[in-house]
Amino acid sequence: MREEQGLAPLPISRHLVFYGNPGTGKTTIARLLAQIYRTLKIASRGHLVETDRAGLVAGYVGQTALKVKEVVQQSLGGVLFIDEAYALNPEGRGNDFGQEAVETLLKLMEDHRHDLIVIVAGYTEKMDDFIASNPGLRSRFNKFFHFEDYEPAELVKIFRGFAAKASFKLTAEAEEKLTEMFKLLTLARDESFGNARTARNLFEMSISKQANRIVTLPNVTPEILSTIEGADIPTAEDLSSSGISLPA
């Protein structure tokens, strides 16, 4: 709006830090923000470019800067979302090119400060260390948003969302068993807990179990095909065999 009136843009940093464990909605919110920024004419294109260390860091001198420049060029007019950004500054790697990526990014953020928004995301403690590692990061990233882990009832709701999207419904027994399973899972969760991803994994395991259960039935109706029953909810043994741990 200021630009339309011939005024200079306000000198306010628009870059953000998203704290949170996997599956808490950081990427989804970043995508929505990009669209909102476009509507508000803060961003000219309003698209989201997602990347991580692998998309920014190369293995040879000079290549990292080129990779960062390419990603930034793709992001102009929108939002650049860097997941697990702390991996750009790994501990114990004296010859690592991650620092080159950070320095190049900071310069490009300044060069394109009116047409680039950067969101860095990752675990809270690691992101704090990352931001504190470079004065340029501290000065540019000063707005922080924390994404809480989901509670069992919220995870059940997310599971139901996956089910509804695939034209499935849950019986009362299935919901009860699912709630108990999410309660157990949240007791054991650490920073690697998948939140919505865990809900999706359980949904996929459930429909696999459902398919194995109904394949031997003599008469499979549309109702049976679209119903997840209590027997279809993964057990502790199912989860263990899939590498998902539960509290002892």
- What would the pLDDT profile of 166-187 be if each residue is shown by its tens digit? 999 999 999 999 999 999 999 9
Q: Let me know: does 168 contact 160? Beta carbons within 8 Å.
A: no
Token look-up 């027994």 returns 173
H runs (alpha helix) in 7-151: 26-39, 53-56, 63-75, 98-111, 124-132, 135-140
Section 150-171 average pLDDT? 98
pLDDT confidence band for 60 (50 / 70 / 90): confident
pLDDT at residue number 94: 55
The number of beta carbons lying within 10 Å of the beta carbon of residue 136 is 15
pLDDT band at 5 (very low <50, low <70, confident <90, very high): low
Sign of the dihedral through C-alpha 12, 15, 19, 20: positive
144-147 and 227-228 as β-strands: parallel, antiparallel, unpaired?
Answer: unpaired
pLDDT tens per residue across span 117-151: 999 999 988 999 999 999 999 999 999 999 999 99
Tell me the mean pLDDT in the region 240-246. Answer: 77
Q: Are 228 and 202 in contact (CB under 8 A)?
A: no
Residue 11, token pair as written in the block: 């000198």
20-30 burial: b if 16+ Cβ within 10 Å, else e = bbbbbbbbebb
pLDDT at 147: 97
Helix (H) or strand (E) holding 119: strand 117-122
Instruction: Report the alpha-carbon distance of residue 101 to residue 89 in Å, rounded.
Output: 9
Question: In percent, how much of the chain has pLDDT > 90?
Answer: 80
- Among residues 47, 99, 41, 36, which one has the least CA distance to residue 73? 47
E strand segments, 188-241: 227-228
What confidence tens digit (pLDDT) does each residue in 66-112 have? 999 999 999 999 999 999 999 998 775 556 799 999 999 999 999 99
Residue type, 241: S
Nearest to 24 by CA among 224, 198, 219: 198
- Calculate ∠ Cα 12-18-22, nearest 5°: 165
Report the C-alpha gap between 203 and 200 in whole angstroms: 5
**pLDDT digit string (tens) for 29-38?**
999 999 999 9
For the chain, first and last CA: distance in Å?
A: 58
Residue 241 confidence (pLDDT): 83
Structural domains in the chain, sorted by start = 3-147 (3.40.50.300), 152-241 (1.10.8.60)
Q: Are the CB atoms for 36 and 13 separated by under 8 Å?
A: no
Model confidence at 214: pLDDT above 70: yes
